[in-house]
Amino acid sequence: MNSDSTILVTGAGGFIGGHLVRRLRRDGFANIRAVDGKPFDEWHQLDHGVENVCADLSALDECRAAARGVDFVFNFAADMGGMGFIEKHKAECMLSVLINTHLLMASRDAGVKRYFYASSACVYAADKQDEVDVAALKESDAYPADPEDGYGWEKLFSERMSRHFTEDFGLTTRIARYHNIYGPMSAYEGGREKAPAAICRKVIEAIQNETGAIEIWGDGKQTRSFTFIDDCLEGTLRLMDSDVEEPLNIGSSEMVSIDELVSIVEGIAGVKLERRYDLAAPKGVRGRNSDNSLICEKLGWEPSTPLATGMRQTFDWIQEQMSA
């Protein structure tokens, strides 16, 4: 990509898409089309220096209009959220397959030079994530296929669709498997929030309401790695500009338990809370971490923001929103 390229960012009203628009603007790209299905007043970020479009990209005609005259596509559009959302809205998550399918067709017909698809670590086989002390997931661990029901199947299918558009039609595609992206400007309430933002909110609520307690989904021992938004964007742009044709993990390799994540947020807030565990709540797989061997080999880079550093920025932003 160069500064004269026309770039389409779909899902631009969402967390990652909104941050990417800002990053591209900062890097000097002037011709950006930002598209999302939500009304403008619901976008996480709205940059008035780009072409903002509200459109339903599950419809082929809307995708054709969005891709017209575009050189590069970043597709983040999807109906998704944290475990509390994807475990209860499997069909809705799977309907996102219409977006990627129609956008691939529109991009092929519009002569798009390169197409990026945002996939997820939810594509990985469940039997490789059933222990707390889990082995880090390599890209090959997606097969034999047994992904997260609903959302994970949609992501894995869309990965294959992207691959076959490259094989059959010559559309150059790049695929990232994101591992739990977090940071400022993310959802922190309403049901779509992920664990880092949810825990920040719960700690702040405990302080504001003087309850002295926090509810934790599961037993707190389940493990994850969490990737700061700045690392996500850097990895995405490096992958888009690379010759890597296979799906690639973009995730931190710093694995923590949910209890440890709560302790980090307690340390930031300067409190110690009673922990009440909801064992019936959605909690996902037992353990998940990113193996970064391939990204180090292919890109000479991996996410490096310490969790405590990213969580400090996330907590401060959420606290500011809640105080307002």
Just list the catalytic residues.
151
| Number of residues that this document lists for the chain | 324
* Diameter of the chain measured on Cα atoms: 60
Encoded amino acid at 149, one letter: D
Rounded-to-integer distance, Cα 2 and Cα 219, Å: 48
- Counting Cα atoms < 13 Å in the Cβ hemisphere of 156 gives 20
Closest CA to 71 of 7, 153, 10: 7
Encoded tokens for 309: 């550093």
Neighbours of 144 (CB within 10 A): 7
Q: Are 228 and 310 in contact (CB under 8 A)?
A: yes
Q: Is 121 exposed, middle or buried (0-12, 13-18, 19+ CB in 10 A)?
A: buried
